[in-house]
Amino acid sequence: QVIKCKAAVLWEANKPFSIEEVEVAPPKEHEVRIKIMATGICRSDDHVITGALVMPFPIILGHEAAGVVESIGQGVTSVKPGDKVIPLFVPQCGECKSCLNTKGNLCSKTDLGTNAGLMPDGTTRFTCKGKAIYHFIGTSTFTEYTVVHESAVAKIDSAAPLEKVCLIGCGFSTGYGAALQTAKVEPGSTCAVFGLGGVGLSVVIGCKVAGASRIIAVDINKDKFAKAKELGATDCINPKDFNKPIHEVLMEMTDGGVDYSFEVIGRTDTMTAALACCHHNYGVSVIVGVPPAAQKITFDPMLLFTGRSWKGSVFGGWKSKDAVPKLVADYMKKMFVLDPLITHTLPWTKINEGFDLLRTGK
């Protein structure tokens, strides 16, 4: 049965979303159709609007959500109609090299990096005004109903509040995992976090849970400092307050550099600064923000020669299908908070206002 529902369609770059009636095809073999109950807004969605992340148009964006299974295609065994679920923009097929390796989490079935905007079989499930609409990284959550592959959905605790745990679909897990999984922050260590959006604050939470003794939060928007401190930051610094490079300031504050640094903005200049501010011999710097398209980094290789490690982290290094239900269970056990990460709750027809709030740092 085709479902007619409302979705926020982006017809072209640098334009607002338009709320349209779309047709959502039934799930094919190994696919799941989900009724989306809550979705978060992420900077990666905005990167598509601005062209920093290249995707085909027209497209239904959104990748951080929670919902309820409406129907399943043939052969689906991991979920059934009525289950509460979180769609996964990094799937877990369980068969590719990354899935089979204990260190890996970036499943080869992901649409990240291929920018195809289609289901694994090369077709779309969305039509609007007779036109095919592209999917976004296998999830497309800015719609009342979406279709995902079975490898891209995780069943979660039926008691979980969907309007909170939707953050585990991207922002929270990405930041929290960057600290716990990718960097493996140790008790007593010193950390620096560049960028205090939802993901940066989740890195702060992860560093605190890991037992870091000092967490230095860095942002040019001082309005974000109070929340960073509430979540565990010990120091907050604004690069605009200094007339020297921020990595030098951090080196001085920490007597030679931090143990772990995190770039959670997606800018090449801050990526290099985050690398330079960690200890020259055993410091680890993690790139968490999506890098801008068509930009390169030039840096002095001596920064790495002395022993530093430079790492990347997609979805916090978690194996998605395994980790998401556990992270939801941890939230239910109050091992971490999500409420402070939610600044506004809007009816989804006000999605353009939501993006304005994102762009103004609110």
Task: Please list the active-site residues.
Answer: 42, 44, 47, 63, 170
What's the DSSP call for residue 33?
A: E
Contacts of 95 (CB under 8 A, 6+ apart): none
Say how far apart CA 3 and CA 14 lie, in whole Å.
Answer: 29
Say how far apart CA 148 and CA 158 lie, in whole Å.
Answer: 20
Whether 313 contacts 174, CB under 8 Å: yes
Residues 92, 96, 98, 101: is their CA dihedral positive or negative? positive
**Beta strands in the chain, from DSSP E residues, in sequence order:** 3-9, 18-24, 31-39, 65-72, 84-87, 126-128, 131-133, 145-149, 153-155, 190-194, 214-218, 235-237, 260-263, 284-287, 309-312
DSSP-assigned beta bridge partners for residue 89: none
DSSP string, 169-189: GTHHHHHHHIIIIII---TT-
Give the distance from CA 78 to its chain's centroid: 23
